[in-house]
Amino acid sequence: MMDDLPALLRRTTRITFFFLSIGCIGLAVWPDYKPIFGGFMIGVIGGLLSSYHLAWKATRIGNQAAAGIKSRGFGFISRAAIGVAAAIVSVRVMDFNLPATAAGILALPLVTLLLGLFAIRRLQNGQSTDERGEK
């Protein structure tokens, strides 16, 4: 599992860059929708920071469990604070759209979840462990 986490973070970062590039193209093509594309891009950045925080927290909890130290949990409050900070920066400071920011915050974990489910499905479609190859 520890080998999968850096690969998952690289994939998440690539997806973030894809969403940010789509947002930049959207800003260039439709400048009237700047509050929507800008809010989405700020939300995607907030989602990426939340993903990095979750990966750090999961690694830390795994190391503590291996050492026999009891941990407190995954810290939803700190990840929620990252999302709220992204929303405040987006709406109050930059005058972007709040629903677009919320969509950006939720887009990255949703895409990561879907890619993980597809990866599990792809592994299950491989050679079954209970078959011997006989007909």
Count of structural domains within the chain: 1
Distances (CA, A) of 112 to 38, 44, 89, 99, 127: 22, 12, 24, 20, 25
The answer as to whether 12 is a domain residue is yes
pLDDT value of position 65: 84
Tell me, what DSSP letter sits at residue 89? I
> Minimum mean pLDDT among 42-46, 89-93, 105-109, 116-120: which range?
116-120
Q: Where are the alpha helices (DSSP H) in the chain?
A: 4-29, 34-67, 76-88, 98-124
CA angle 103, 108, 112 (to 5 degrees): 140
Residue 132, in any domain of the structure: no
What sign has the CA pseudo-torsion 62, 116, 13, 74? Answer: negative
Q: Is residue 129 part of a domain?
A: no
Residue 42 lies in a domain: yes
More confident residue, 131 or 12: 12
Examine residue 134 and state whether it is found in any structural domain, yes or no: no
Assigned domain for 20 exists: yes
CB-side neighbour CA atoms (13 Å) of 43:
24
Indicate the pLDDT class of residue 131, thresholds 50, 70 and 90. low
Q: In this structure, is residue 127 part of a structural domain?
A: no
Domain region containing 12: 4-119
Query: What confidence category does residue 130 fall into, taking pLDDT thresholds of 50, 70 and 90?
Result: very low
Percentage, residues of the chain above pLDDT 90:
42
Q: How much is the average pLDDT of 29-40? A: 93
48: in domain: yes
Query: What pLDDT score does 1 carry?
Result: 47
Report the distance separating Cα 49 and Cα 56, nearest Å.
11
| Residue 76 token pair | 């939803």
Residue 72 has pLDDT above 50, yes or no: yes
Reference 38, options 63, 52, 66, 19; nearest CA is: 19
Pick from 30-34, 43-47, 115-119: least confident: 115-119
